[in-house]
Amino acid sequence: MKISIVGAGYVGLVTGGCLAELGHQVMCIDSDAAKVATLNAAGLPIYEPGLQELMARNRAEGRIHFTTDMAQAVEHGEVIFIAVGTPSKEDGSADLQHVLAVATQIGRHLKKFKVIVNKSTVPVGTAYRVQKCLQDELNKRGIQESLFEVISNPEFLKEGAAIKDFMHPDRIVIGLDASPNYNTVHQKMELLYSSFNRHHARTIWMDVRSAELTKYAANAMLATRISFMNEIANLADLMGADVDSVRRGIGADARIGHGFLYAGTGYGGSCFPKDTRALIQTALDCGSQMKVVTAVENVNDHQKTLLVNRLIQNFGEDLSGLKFAIWGMAFKPNTDDMRDAPSIAIVQTLLDAGAIVHAHDPEGMEEAAKILPDVVMADSAYSAAQDAYAVALVTEWDAYRALDLKKLHAAMAGDVLVDLRNIYRPEEAQAAGFNYVSVGR
Ligand code: NAD
């Protein structure tokens, strides 16, 4: 099929690359000309494992193209995905300006029937607003005919494992309302995703509003598990229990399962913080309250102060002239994405207290340097830690899992190792001479 994807970011590029891999003819359009130039020069504007190879293969086969030209993209795709950003507004609600601007731009160029698929994470009712923008543009051009159907197909991929998630989805949620176009649209979407439904049906069909809400409910549920475990970990610390044992003990219960039960720095990233905030705001807008999700957010905010509090216990409130090392800046391993990364709040608090911060991240340092220009980026985990008073492991990249703790200890000026991901065994770190701090152990 011919597919167009508006927004060549983490979701748009993975969706485009994977659909091209399945044999579809894909055109990705982005308003950022520099991004499109990079893509057209065989580069990638983001880091995602496997994406470079996937793109190279499909570029070579002529199945994927990149443009800034909306007219060309609208002409090309019989199905047009919207995959632009929906960041938080100041009040926490989702900022829909990019989604609605894209709808207006598509409307300007529509000449024949297209399925408009909203893949961005958007509050309930957005499909209707997209539809209105499209229709307004058609009306301006004097076109009364129904030239589109707006449907919802939220994305559940995880950065760092995005290609695997897209190619092996647990489920594909499609929200499609009753309309004269229902059968045509249903058939097109069945065809588009047919390779995923061969073994057993993975597509869950529902109405548009339910699909929009499903995405927020999924992220809020995952965020809830994280905050819940962080509270259990903090209690374990106070009571002398080990949160890792508790995690295994509850995860073995089939009703609970093992996923998303790790205590740590609190969630960050491009989705959970903004999506929980938006869900809370959506409820307020309709006179209701998301009490659980509000608590989840409060616990998460508190968790981010944990590291700094532990350091203050050791060094006092004035950290002037003391060097600290941070391992892992991206919000999770295997991405360069710094949006809402827990490292930002942690580093900023250290800098505000006068500390000198050196950091290392296998892929995220370029992005991190844009946000935290006062941090010295080091070329290895060891060089970041050289002469440091404390090291904090913030993001659990594989590169930090088996470091030589004795060598590390010898290179440092101090002996504090704050392991916010519970990677090392306390006995091992203590044997290497560290004053070792982890979460809930
Ligand atoms: P992103 O910021 O990486 O990419 C968005 C792209 O859209 C950017 O390249 C931007 O230049 C482009 N864009 C903005 N306005 C445009 C316009 N008018 N015309 C053309 N291009 C335009 O964002 P992302 O992380 O890919 O997220 C996109 C959406 O998917 C968001 O709603 C997000 O919540 C959702 N989502 C993200 C993830 C994730 O892991 N990143 C997972 C699931 C869902």
Rg of the Cα atoms in the chain? 24
Torsion 79-85-87-89 (CA) sign: negative
CA angle 366, 339, 225 (to 5 degrees): 130
Q: Which atom of ligand 1 is nearest to the CA of 102?
A: 18
52 in ligand 1 pocket by Cβ < 6 Å? Answer: no
CA angle 243, 247, 249 (to 5 degrees): 115
Closest CA to 49 of 161, 142, 209, 140: 161
263 in ligand 1 pocket by Cβ < 6 Å? Answer: no
Whole-model pTM: value is 0.95
286 labelled catalytic: no
- Within 10 Å of residue 366's Cβ, how many Cβ atoms? 12
Q: Which atom of ligand 1 is nearest to the CA of 270?
A: 41
46 φψ region: left (φ > 0), alpha (ψ -120 to 50), beta (else): beta
- Please tell me whether residue 53 adopts helix, strand or coil conformation: helix
Is 105 within 8 Å of 47 (Cβ atoms)? Answer: no
The reported pLDDT for the residue numbered 277 is 97
Q: Which atom of ligand 1 is nearest to the CA of 68?
A: 20
DSSP β-bridge partners for residue 360: 327
Helices (H), 240-363: 243-251, 272-285, 291-303, 306-315, 342-352
**Percent of the chain topping pLDDT 70:** 100
Taking the centre of ligand 1 as the mean of its atom positions, its distance from the CA of residue 270, in whole angstroms, is 10
104 in ligand 1 pocket by Cβ < 6 Å? Answer: no
Per-residue pLDDT of the chain (441 residues; tens, 9 = 90+): 999 999 999 999 999 999 999 999 999 999 999 999 999 999 999 999 999 999 999 999 999 999 999 999 999 999 999 999 999 999 999 999 999 999 999 999 999 999 999 999 999 999 999 999 999 999 999 998 889 999 999 999 999 999 999 999 999 999 999 999 999 999 999 999 999 988 888 999 999 999 999 999 999 999 999 999 999 999 999 999 999 999 999 999 999 999 999 999 999 999 999 999 999 999 999 999 999 999 999 999 999 888 788 777 889 989 999 999 999 999 999 999 999 999 999 999 999 999 999 999 999 999 999 999 999 999 999 999 999 999 999 999 999 999 999 999 999 999 999 999 999 999 999 999 999 999 999
Please pick, among 18, 28, 271, 286, the residue that the annotation labels catalytic. Answer: 271
